[in-house]
Chains A and B, each alone.
Chain A
Amino acid sequence: DTAVSQTPKYLVTQMGNDKSIKCEQNLGHDTMYWYKQDSKKFLKIMFSYNNKELIINETVPNRFSPKSPDKAHLNLHINSLELGDSAVYFCASSPTDLDGYIFGSGTRLTVV
């Protein structure tokens, strides 16, 4: 059973399109995150949700909208995709103490 699962694993789309990435965790963790990893491997926090409530919203264009229907799910919707959005997007979850921080397998988004 995968602890943090993301779909899709790969996503290739044209500029201007709207796409969604889904994330689910079965660990019972209270907090979920979205990270973006660019071509230079830099992992940067985008959003953090605790028990369905938005906790952190870093400087991210408002074309990115996270949604958490329940504490086990955190989805990411991206409007009007741009070339610069191409990256690997990782979902993660953690319990209160961060040593249980677990990443999903990532979604490689390519905008053409």
Chain B
Amino acid sequence: QKEVEQNSGPLSVPEGAIASLNCTYSDRGSQSFFWYRQYSGKSPELIMFIYSNGDKEDGRFTAQLNKASQYVSLLIRDSQPSDSATYLCAAALGYSTLTFGKGTMLLVSP
């Protein structure tokens, strides 16, 4: 059974701090990994994807992948109150569907 695990949170950080969101996955064959942000009452929106070991940066967001440890993380630098949302980690085996974690709620206080 493919599983993606996330701490449900909430993770509370002050404005301007770095928020670190973590995710582990069970299927060692998973090849691609995604971070989605979901505001309350809205649909998930893709913010980052990563396929290779190491770091991938996009603006204030950095995704990190360690396939040996089956671990994915998302760092949000200079966190803003508008970043407050649930962050969903997802993994895919080849071109199959995405398997999602249960999400981590992030709260950024002004």
Binding site for B on A (CB under 8 A): 33, 40-45, 48, 56, 90, 96-99, 101-106
Contacts and interface: CB of A to CB of B under 8 A. Distances in A.
B46 A41 contact: no
Interface residues of B, number: 20
A54 to B, nearest CB: 12
Given A105-B43, A106-B43, A97 B95 contact: yes
Interface string B20-59: 0000000000001010001000111110010000000000
B99 interface: yes
Main secondary structure of the interface of B (DSSP, over half): strand
A101 B98 contact: yes
Contacts of A99: 32, 34, 46, 49
Given A41-B38, A41-B103, A98-B34, A103 B98 contact: no
Given A42-B103, A98-B32, A101-B98, 7 more contacts: A33-B97, A40-B102, A45-B99, A56-B97, A98-B92, A99-B49, A104-B43
Nearest to A104: B43
A41 B42 CA distance: 11
